[in-house]
Structure 1
């Protein structure tokens, strides 16, 4: 990838994180913020928007670090296991293990007496369904060997990136961080080919399906 395209890729992902966080932040706390709009408190609205943009940029940076870290780990995995099918099998095990831990440990540490496990299952299953859907899109965009790596990235790596909010277990922060992270991760996963240095690389990948 040319340095110019790398900068464009970085800035576009940063913008996605900022815009989504502003939208999610106002949506999640609309009951608190709607009076500001009704009363025309422009200064307050601008201040909150700037704060959300800053938070969104931080989420985007976390997402980008996770993405490029996974690209490195993926290369190491292929080198160590010498076979993409074996490496994919290892990733499937990690996916199941991390999703189980997401439910089990959150329920163990944060559930109140008599509380159902349903809410804790919901987030994990939602993340899995989103991962499956966009991994399928990635597979159609490239080839079938991309499905498991894409699913690993959209589940395991997203959960690792999401860990600061998971530790606090405050509902608004959980969603405020998760939604921009997963959207930034999806954006990077699907848009990376469009920023590659040579257009013929994209063509060859599509023809190899």
Structure 2
């Protein structure tokens, strides 16, 4: 996971103390990170389409096709398993197509590495979208443990459903316990701004409320290094 440590920490918040505005703006592998995001979004869309729309529609169609001559005690069970396999294939297709669509989209847009990095940063600081992706990811792993990719679809849809409850009721009317460590006001405006603010000397002068001129900052830095 070399190069994705800051992404992983921002996504999971496992290491609370290391979550800083500098780490959020540190995006060493923007293309890989953007491909991961595309894969998540494709998976969420495929789970919803395959599990919520296609599965019940196809199941209804197959049940309506049953006749007394072709119906057995296991007919409905066979139909259910067939539809569950179908929804699992939707998810597999999404997992495979996510990185490809990411590459195709960036090429179609003509984005440079800086453009992709800026887009990844906007994804990192979008707290509501992160909640959805986290819930869907947790749901996927729980469902995958239960019934592999077929269960993963159900888990993602449960995550999407809980996010709808969170966004419509929990967030506006309650005080959620689990929050990101940094607020929008704590973060940089862009990775470029973070790059310009990367030296410890600049951060020191800003913390004491003093902004030296570039010439004096260089002189002070030289004097500090010589001493």
TM over 0.5: no
Structure with more of its chain in helix, by fraction: 1
Q: Which fold has the larger relative contact order, with Cα–Cα distance below 8 Å and residues 6 or more apart in sequence? A: 1
Task: Report which of the two structures shows the higher radius of gyration computed on alpha carbons.
Answer: 2
Give the TM-score normalised by the residue count of structure 1: 0.29
Give the TM-score normalised by the residue count of structure 2: 0.28
